[in-house]
Chains A and B, each alone.
Chain A
């Protein structure tokens, strides 16, 4: 492609406390192309595009628009330069009409607005790209797919030449996704550049003219259509070199501790999040659940820990049926839980270390006498955990939200482990942690396994899954699509299964 590029990002680096989200990434966008940005969660795709859309400022690197260096102070600057982003979570006012939402925040809108004319413009614009929407409809009346169209039209209305979509199909039905892809193609053909952030290989294969793969904030490469296969992409995304299997001692597998029998669970919007999942985790075993976020992992963890209603099927811990049992009873049965949201669910941000250490067993006879909590024992226990798990804290009463991510997770794990659980559910236990903290968390989980605890590990990080698990199950679209022994599993195969690739290939064969 020798034509002039619309936008270029050169050497973009962005650091957040404890993580390098983008490490010297280069990206060029040409008119007429659909560019896929592929990577696992946490690989820095969204950060990179948020920089281009003016939400973040890069620590290093430059952005060129039509060859001229630009600094965006806000999304407004980016929009003025012709860059618009459609976020995963739509930013629309439910009670306003489509047209009102589209002009909302647009600086060109005059003080006295003739909505009629604007509605006509919007209707014309949406017709040209086949994005059917009624400008007079209220947002709350629209389906998710229609809302997404409103966001796209909003960006077109503001004259965006570069359209960025963050995981646009995550919320769409397959039909809606097909329509969207057709619309995106239409826009590209009219000389715009479209960036699609995704971690779905099929989508990349379907629509991308070029694809840039990110892993751990670094750019793995940029490839042109025809030069890549699905397998190449999976490799690039997951990374071949990282599959080291560290010193996992062999542990004799004990009896099953957790047993799920055809469990069905609804998600928050009332759709089936788990469609009959059956699995077994034994004592002294780490069962890794691989899968892209949003395929039922969170619901699985919540169903087992009693936080989500199970609509069908049964859950057993040991020989006890704990299907829809109260949370308290499940805790008392020795189920430890490291939730995805460690600060806010697993720990209480505004309370101190002692309160958080006693969060679950403040009501047991060790810690309370009648209605009164014995704080002194809580303090003793907190000091003990701090020493045993080398947690660094500023004070016992300082709110735990002041702790670093690594120390938070250590504290959370320390509490769960010290309660002597039979089963630990760990959801994304190292997300956002640096290497040292990750190692510490992994070591803690492996030690638990050696002690004979059953561990259900939910992660998107294949590296982590391969490092820790004895068996791997892949969750895709609410189904457990495969269970592999670690000896039989290889990253590529699991990677493909995670993206729903395996089934389709199997069907072709």
Chain B
């Protein structure tokens, strides 16, 4: 592609297949710096000192045990959902329904916790996990079945099902599942001790972290080392080649979406059982959506998803910290969006090379 600048100057955009190693490191770093700078400019324009805000965020997150542990706590649902949607993205299945699947998982886990009061923990917790996975997977399948057999767009389906799941949970906690002793607050009764995931020491970090780390390793292994993972990668890269090699695309759409939804459902179970110990409305501040950003920034690599989830957990906590300085915590959402914008935008620089050809006459390029 050639762009004509003023007069005779031509800017040529060439595709490069092999970006230089320097660029591979430099571009993402520069992208992050640029994103921070743009948001900083925004803070500055709204009359705040960007240096102060960034400094406060940083010290708030890494400067105290509380900040650090909270970062980990926030990163748990992010990494689980990130792993879940990332798996679907690998097969070019755009599961935007992580949020709804998380709510379904929370709902199912709560149901088990509330209605089987005499099970011991070693039965109750595994059953809660299984129920949450099934519920999340079920919601994903509602979108996957029409997609696999009729080609219905899964983006719309998963997105709309988010509202279904969220409103379903709202209905339960405002209605039938409301705690009679809860002073009319829209909350279920608190879980018994047997339904609560163990925590690490006296922090709020719970077993969900282990789920996330374990799943990341398992996913990595499954995707890169197993026959099924191979099929997923081939289908994601080229469905025609997959058909040519005799792979069953329909079955894999169903399986991948089921697994994707199940992991997001597990995130919901971890939230209610590890952290909130009850079902409540608004139990996720959009983890399922942020997970989409995380999966992309990590380029769908399971290990990278864990790391990026920690980063985004930190951003979330940093957002709460600066709230005390009169900055709305929603600015974190802005920061996240800007990061995604710049990092993905920067990728173009890795794939293309700009060549500036000053003073060139049109028609001369071939010479």
Chain A contacts to B: CB under 8 angstroms = 57-60, 71, 73, 305-307, 326-331, 337, 339, 341, 344-351, 355, 358-360, 362-363, 368, 371-373, 375, 394, 401-402
Q: Which of B208-262 contact A (CB under 8 A)?
A: 225-228, 230, 233-234, 237-238, 240-241, 243-246
Name the contact of B17 in the complex, choosing from A326, A347, A402 (C-beta under 8 A): A402
Q: List 26 A-B contacts (CB under 8 A).
A: A60-B366, A305-B244, A306-B246, A307-B244, A328-B246, A329-B246, A331-B245, A331-B246, A339-B244, A345-B241, A346-B244, A349-B238, A350-B237, A350-B238, A355-B233, A355-B234, A359-B234, A359-B241, A360-B245, A360-B246, A362-B227, A363-B227, A368-B227, A373-B225, A373-B227, A394-B18
- Are A355 and B230 interface neighbours, CB within 8 A? yes
How far apart are the CA atoms of A66 and B241 in the complex, in Å?
Answer: 49
How far apart are the CA atoms of A306 and B245 in the complex, in Å?
Answer: 11
- Are A371 and B238 interface neighbours, CB within 8 A? no
Q: In the complex, what residue of chain A is closest to B234 when comparing beta carbons?
A: A348
Q: In the complex, what residue of chain A is closest to B365 when comparing beta carbons?
A: A57
- Are B240 and A344 interface neighbours, CB within 8 A? yes
Nearest CB on A from B226, distance (A): 5
How far apart are the CA atoms of A394 and B4 in the complex, in Å?
Answer: 34
Which residues of A lie under 8 Å from residue B227 when comparing CB positions?
A: 362-363, 368, 371-373
Residue B24 lies at the interface, judged by CB distance under 8 Å to chain A = no
- Are B241 and A346 interface neighbours, CB within 8 A? yes
- Are A348 and B230 interface neighbours, CB within 8 A? no
| 4 residue pairs, one from A and one from B, having the closest CB atoms | A328-B246, A327-B246, A350-B237, A345-B240
Q: In the complex, what residue of chain A is closest to B244 when comparing beta carbons?
A: A345
Residue B362 lies at the interface, judged by CB distance under 8 Å to chain A = yes
Which residues of B lie under 8 Å from residue A394 when comparing CB positions?
A: 18
Which residues of B lie under 8 Å from residue A350 when comparing CB positions?
A: 237-238
Q: Which of B2-43 contact A (CB under 8 A)?
A: 4, 17-18
How far apart are the CA atoms of A447 and B4 in the complex, in Å?
Answer: 52
Chain B contacts to A: CB under 8 angstroms = 4, 17-18, 225-228, 230, 233-234, 237-238, 240-241, 243-246, 362-363, 365-366
Given contacts A351-B237, A371-B226, A371-B227, contact A59 B244 (CB under 8 A): no
- Are A348 and B237 interface neighbours, CB within 8 A? yes
Nearest CB on A from B3, distance (A): 11
- Are B226 and A373 interface neighbours, CB within 8 A? yes
- Are B225 and A375 interface neighbours, CB within 8 A? yes
- Are A71 and B363 interface neighbours, CB within 8 A? yes
Q: In the complex, what residue of chain A is closest to B228 when comparing beta carbons?
A: A371
Main secondary structure of the interface of A (DSSP, over half): loop
Q: In the complex, what residue of chain B is closest to A13 when comparing beta carbons?
A: B366
Nearest CB on B from A58, distance (A): 8
Name the contact of A344 in the complex, choosing from B226, B230, B241 (C-beta under 8 A): B241
Nearest CB on B from A50, distance (A): 16
How far apart are the CA atoms of A50 and B248 in the complex, in Å?
Answer: 40
Nearest CB on A from B255, distance (A): 13
How far apart are the CA atoms of A60 and B366 in the complex, in Å?
Answer: 8
Which residues of A lie under 8 Å from residue B245 when comparing CB positions?
A: 327, 331, 359-360
How far apart are the CA atoms of A368 and B226 in the complex, in Å?
Answer: 8
- Are A373 and B230 interface neighbours, CB within 8 A? yes
Which residues of A lie under 8 Å from residue B225 when comparing CB positions?
A: 372-373, 375
- Are A348 and B238 interface neighbours, CB within 8 A? yes
Which residues of A lie under 8 Å from residue B363 when comparing CB positions?
A: 57, 71
- Are A348 and B241 interface neighbours, CB within 8 A? yes
Nearest CB on A from B206, distance (A): 31
Beyond the given A73-B4, A372-B227, could you list 12 further A-B residue pairs with CB under 8 A, ordered by the A residue number? A57-B365, A59-B366, A307-B244, A344-B241, A348-B234, A349-B237, A350-B238, A355-B234, A360-B245, A373-B225, A373-B230, A394-B18
B226, B237, B362, most chain A CB atoms within 10 A: B237
Which residues of B lie under 8 Å from residue A59 when comparing CB positions?
A: 366
Q: In the complex, what residue of chain A is closest to B238 when comparing beta carbons?
A: A348
Which residues of A lie under 8 Å from residue B228 when comparing CB positions?
A: 371
Q: In the complex, what residue of chain B is closest to A69 when comparing beta carbons?
A: B363
Q: In the complex, what residue of chain B is closest to A59 when comparing beta carbons?
A: B366
How far apart are the CA atoms of A331 and B242 in the complex, in Å?
Answer: 13
How far apart are the CA atoms of A351 and B242 in the complex, in Å?
Answer: 12
Which residues of B lie under 8 Å from residue A337 when comparing CB positions?
A: 244
Which residues of A lie under 8 Å from residue B237 when comparing CB positions?
A: 348-351
Which residues of B lie under 8 Å from residue A373 when comparing CB positions?
A: 225-227, 230
Which residues of A lie under 8 Å from residue B18 when comparing CB positions?
A: 394, 402
How far apart are the CA atoms of A371 and B226 in the complex, in Å?
Answer: 5
How far apart are the CA atoms of A25 and B140 in the complex, in Å?
Answer: 58
- Are A351 and B233 interface neighbours, CB within 8 A? yes
Which residues of A lie under 8 Å from residue B234 when comparing CB positions?
A: 348, 351, 355, 359
How far apart are the CA atoms of A330 and B245 in the complex, in Å?
Answer: 10
Which residues of B lie under 8 Å from residue A402 when comparing CB positions?
A: 17-18
How far apart are the CA atoms of A394 and B17 in the complex, in Å?
Answer: 12
Which residues of A lie under 8 Å from residue B246 when comparing CB positions?
A: 306, 326-331, 360
How far apart are the CA atoms of A344 and B241 in the complex, in Å?
Answer: 6
Nearest CB on A from B251, distance (A): 12
Which residues of B lie under 8 Å from residue A351 when comparing CB positions?
A: 233-234, 237
How far apart are the CA atoms of A73 and B361 in the complex, in Å?
Answer: 12
How far apart are the CA atoms of A207 and B366 in the complex, in Å?
Answer: 37
Which residues of B lie under 8 Å from residue A360 when comparing CB positions?
A: 245-246
- Are B241 and A71 interface neighbours, CB within 8 A? no
Nearest CB on A from B27, distance (A): 19
How far apart are the CA atoms of A360 and B246 in the complex, in Å?
Answer: 8
- Are B243 and A362 interface neighbours, CB within 8 A? no
Name the contact of B243 in the complex, choosing from A71, A307, A363 (C-beta under 8 A): A307
Which residues of A lie under 8 Å from residue B233 when comparing CB positions?
A: 351, 355
How far apart are the CA atoms of A307 and B233 in the complex, in Å?
Answer: 20
Which residues of A lie under 8 Å from residue B226 when comparing CB positions?
A: 371-373
Which residues of B lie under 8 Å from residue A347 when comparing CB positions?
A: 241
How far apart are the CA atoms of A372 and B223 in the complex, in Å?
Answer: 10
Which residues of A lie under 8 Å from residue B17 when comparing CB positions?
A: 401-402
- Are A327 and B366 interface neighbours, CB within 8 A? no
Which residues of B lie under 8 Å from residue A345 when comparing CB positions?
A: 238, 240-241, 244
Which residues of A lie under 8 Å from residue B362 when comparing CB positions?
A: 71, 73
How far apart are the CA atoms of A73 and B363 in the complex, in Å?
Answer: 9
Q: In the complex, what residue of chain A is closest to B2 when comparing beta carbons?
A: A73
How far apart are the CA atoms of A257 and B109 in the complex, in Å?
Answer: 59
How far apart are the CA atoms of A346 and B238 in the complex, in Å?
Answer: 10
Given contacts A326-B246, A402-B18, contact A341 B230 (CB under 8 A): no
How far apart are the CA atoms of A355 and B365 in the complex, in Å?
Answer: 39
How far apart are the CA atoms of A199 and B122 in the complex, in Å?
Answer: 75
Nearest CB on A from B166, distance (A): 33
Which residues of B lie under 8 Å from residue A358 when comparing CB positions?
A: 230
Q: In the complex, what residue of chain B is closest to A329 when comparing beta carbons?
A: B246
How far apart are the CA atoms of A329 and B237 in the complex, in Å?
Answer: 23
Which residues of A lie under 8 Å from residue B241 when comparing CB positions?
A: 344-348, 359
